[in-house]
Amino acid sequence: MNSSLSRDSQVKIMEGTVNNAEKYLGQFCLLLASYTRKNARLRDKVDLLIKQIMDFANTENPEMRRCLKDFGEEMSKIQDYRQAEVERLDAKVIGPLKEYGRLTKSKRGDIKKFNSVRNREMKELENLQKLKQRNPSDRQGISLAEANVQKASVDVNHTTHQLEEIIFKFQQQKLKDIKAIFSNFVTVEMIFHSKALEMYTNAFQHLNNFDEEKDMAAFRSKICISEFENDARPSQSHSSSSLQPSPGSQLRTPPRVLHAHFQEDESDDEEEEEDEVEELQDLSDDGYQQYAKIRK
């Protein structure tokens, strides 16, 4: 029975190899798909932020407007790279990992086939034992049973060779694939991070170029009419017209209450989390609650 024991161990190792591949590569697939999806949501969230930055830019004076729009455009480019990251992760990481579902299923089939061949050998061995016990003088029957055992053993040997070959190749391919898939992952991430770094460098420059003095001069000319009033209160039609908000300005539209944007924000993001909805309700009571949940 040593042969059976060692073969038991051998098959268990093979089964373990296939089962662990199925389990862990399945987990990698699941978690990396979730990681990719969360990145897509980050992108959506920043897209919403950019939209608000652009809208806000339109309410500001030319200097700040330009600064915010340049900043927003760099942010937007980063989201394009994030989108490329999401697509590449899907094609070069999730796709190949998904293949392992099909692959491990097929290998399990091979092991099952082997087990049935081996069970036949065990059965033939049992038959032989029984025959020897019950009818030790039946030479012909015993010979036949021994021949059957021999045949089944040959089958098992043959199938063992085949299975070893199959599992060996499977493991070889698995090692190559794991290396390739994680290398793909790292490469995709590196491209994204280096591009993001480049765009953020530009974004920082745009913020740095902002001329506050110039912007404040424009603002002063808009809101400070008191000098005119003191000097020439009777005739003010010119200053009155200069106070009209510029076209595209949203100064005259009644500001929507915060709660309204939150609802809009939410309908835009169909995958918003439940807890976020609760937070938004809190926000309607106090627009500036603590809503950044971070690690304890």
Q: Which of residues 76-95 bind a copy of itself (CB under 8 A)?
A: 83, 86-87, 89-90, 94
Q: Is 64 in the site for a copy of itself (CB under 8 A)?
A: yes
Q: Is 131 in the site for a copy of itself (CB under 8 A)?
A: no
Please identify which residue in 150, 172, 263, 281 interacts with a copy of itself, judged by CB under 8 A: 172
Q: Is 249 in the site for a copy of itself (CB under 8 A)?
A: yes
- The residue (of 45 and 141) whose beta carbon lies closer to a copy of itself is 45
CB burial string 6-22: b at 16+ within 10 A, e below? eeeeebeebbebbeebb
CA distance 107 to 253: 66
Q: Is 140 in the site for a copy of itself (CB under 8 A)?
A: no
Q: Is 154 in the site for a copy of itself (CB under 8 A)?
A: no
For the chain, the maximum distance between any two Cα atoms, rounded to a whole number of angstroms, is 137
- The residue (of 133 and 230) whose beta carbon lies closer to a copy of itself is 230
Residue 229 CB, nearest distance to a copy of itself (Å)? 7
- The residue (of 147 and 186) whose beta carbon lies closer to a copy of itself is 186
Question: Among candidates 124, 140, 142, which has minimal Cα distance to 132?
Answer: 142
CA distance 170 to 107: 8
Q: Is 13 in the site for a copy of itself (CB under 8 A)?
A: yes
CA distance 104 to 161: 19
Residue 144 CB, nearest distance to a copy of itself (Å)? 22
Q: Is 12 in the site for a copy of itself (CB under 8 A)?
A: yes
Residue 132 CB, nearest distance to a copy of itself (Å)? 19
Each residue 14-53 as x (binds a copy of itself by CB under 8 A) or -, in order, gives x-xx-xx-xxx-xxxxxxxxxxxxxxxxxx-xx-xx--xx
- The residue (of 127 and 239) whose beta carbon lies closer to a copy of itself is 239
Q: Is 151 in the site for a copy of itself (CB under 8 A)?
A: no
Distance of CA 166 to the CA centre of its chain: 32
